[in-house]
Amino acid sequence: MIILSGCSKEQPKKEIKVQKNINQTKAYNYSISGKTDSAFKYYSLAKDEFLIQKDSIGVIYCLLSMAIISTGQGDYFGGQEISLAGLPYLNEKNKDHLWYIHSNYNNIGLANYRLKNYSEAIRFYNQALKFATIDTDRFIYLNNKAKVYEELKNFDAAINIYARIVRSVPKETINYARALANLAAAKWLQNPDYNAEPELLSALAINDKLGEKFGQNFCYARLADFYSKRNNTIAVDYAKKMLVVAKELSSPDDQLEALYKLVKLSSPKATKQYFVQYEKLSDSLQSARARAKNQFALIRYDTLKLQKDNTEKKYQIARREALIVISLIAIIALTGIFIIWYRKRKQKIELETQNAIRESRLKTSKKVHDVVANGLYRVMTEIENTEGLDREEMLDRLDQMYQKSRDISYEVEETKPIVHNFSLQITALLQAFTTPTTKVIIKGNTNELWTRLNDPAKHEIEHVLQELMVNMKKHSHATAVELLFEQKNKRIYISYIDNGVGMPEQVQYKNGLRNTGNRIEHIGGEINFDTKLEKGLKILIVFPVV
Q: What is the 3-state secondary structure (H, E, C) of 439-450?
A: EEEEECCCHHHH
For residue 318, the tally of other CB atoms under 10 A from its CB is 10
Round to whole Å and give the CA distance between 160 and 101. Answer: 26
Select the CATH number that applies to the domain covering 1-132 from these four: 3.50.50.60, 1.10.10.60, 1.10.1200.10, 1.25.40.10. Answer: 1.25.40.10
Dihedral of CA atoms 324, 330, 333, 337 in degrees, nearest 10, equals -140
Strands of 439-443's sheet in order across:
439-443, 480-488, 491-498, 537-544, 526-530
Helices (H) and strands (E) in the chain, counts: 22, 9
Nearest by Cα to 212 from 60, 396, 8: 8
Residue 497: strand, helix, or coil: strand
Round to whole Å and give the CA distance between 538 and 478. Answer: 12
What's the burial of 17, exposed, middle or buried (CB within 10 Å: 0-12/13-18/19+)? exposed
Round to whole Å and give the CA distance between 7 and 219. Answer: 17
Return the CATH number of the domain spanning residue range 350-544. Answer: 3.30.565.10
Round to whole Å and give the CA distance between 208 and 102. Answer: 30
Helix/strand/coil (H/E/C) assignment for every residue in 194-235? CCCHHHHHHHHHHHHHHCCHHHHHHHHHHHHHHHCCCCHHHH
CA 17 to each of CA 37, 57, 132, 159, 387: distance values in angstroms, whole numbers, following the listed order: 24, 9, 18, 37, 40
Residue 482: strand, helix, or coil: strand
Dihedral of CA atoms 95, 96, 100, 103 in degrees, nearest 10, equals 50
pLDDT of 196: 94
Dihedral of CA atoms 20, 76, 286, 7 in degrees, nearest 10, equals -60
Helix axes 511-522, 455-471, angle to 10 degrees: 160
The secondary element (H helix, E strand) that includes residue 239 is helix 232-248
Round to whole Å and give the CA distance between 183 and 177. Answer: 10
pLDDT of 405: 62
Please give the DSSP secondary-structure letter assigned to residue 403.
H
pLDDT of 399: 64
Instruction: Please state the φ and ψ torsions of residue 473, each to the nearest 5 degrees.
Output: -65, -40
Query: By the 8 A CB rule, do 481 and 440 touch?
Result: yes
Round to whole Å and give the CA distance between 445 and 486. Answer: 8
Q: What are the strands, taking DSSP E only, across 391-512? A: 409-410, 439-443, 480-488, 491-498
Helix axes 374-384, 391-405, angle to 10 degrees: 170
Round to whole Å and give the CA distance between 106 and 147. Answer: 13
Q: How many CA atoms lie within 13 A of 436 on its CB side?
A: 7
Contacts of residue 158, defined as CB under 8 A and 6 or more positions apart, other chains included, come to 146, 147, 149, 150, 182, 186
Round to whole Å and give the CA distance between 155 and 147. Answer: 9
CA 477 to each of CA 374, 536, 543: distance values in angstroms, whole numbers, following the listed order: 17, 10, 28
Round to whole Å and give the CA distance between 486 and 353. Answer: 38
Rg of the chain (C-alpha set): 31
Return per-residue pLDDT of the chain as tens, 546 residues: 333 433 335 666 655 555 668 999 999 999 888 888 899 999 999 999 999 988 989 999 999 999 999 998 889 999 999 999 999 999 999 999 999 999 999 999 999 999 999 999 999 999 999 999 999 999 999 999 999 999 999 999 999 999 999 999 999 999 999 999 999 999 999 999 999 999 999 999 999 999 999 999 999 999 999 999 899 999 999 999 999 999 999 888 899 999 999 999 988 888 889 899 989 988 887 776 677 667 666 776 666 554 445 445 665 777 788 778 887 887 888 888 888 878 887 888 777 646 543 544 544 555 555 555 565 666 666 666 656 556 666 666 566 656 656 555 444 445 555 557 899 999 999 998 998 899 999 999 999 999 999 999 999 999 999 999 998 888 888 999 999 999 999 999 999 999 988 877 665 555 567 778 889 999 999 999 887 777 889 999 999 986
Contacts of residue 310, defined as CB under 8 A and 6 or more positions apart, other chains included, come to none
CA 77 to each of CA 74, 124, 181, 317: distance values in angstroms, whole numbers, following the listed order: 9, 15, 30, 34
Query: In one letter, which amino acid is 471?
Result: N
Helix, strand, coil percent content, the chain, rounded in steps of 5: 70, 10, 25
Would the pTM count as exceeding 0.75? no
pLDDT of 140: 93
Contacts of residue 410, defined as CB under 8 A and 6 or more positions apart, other chains included, come to 365, 368
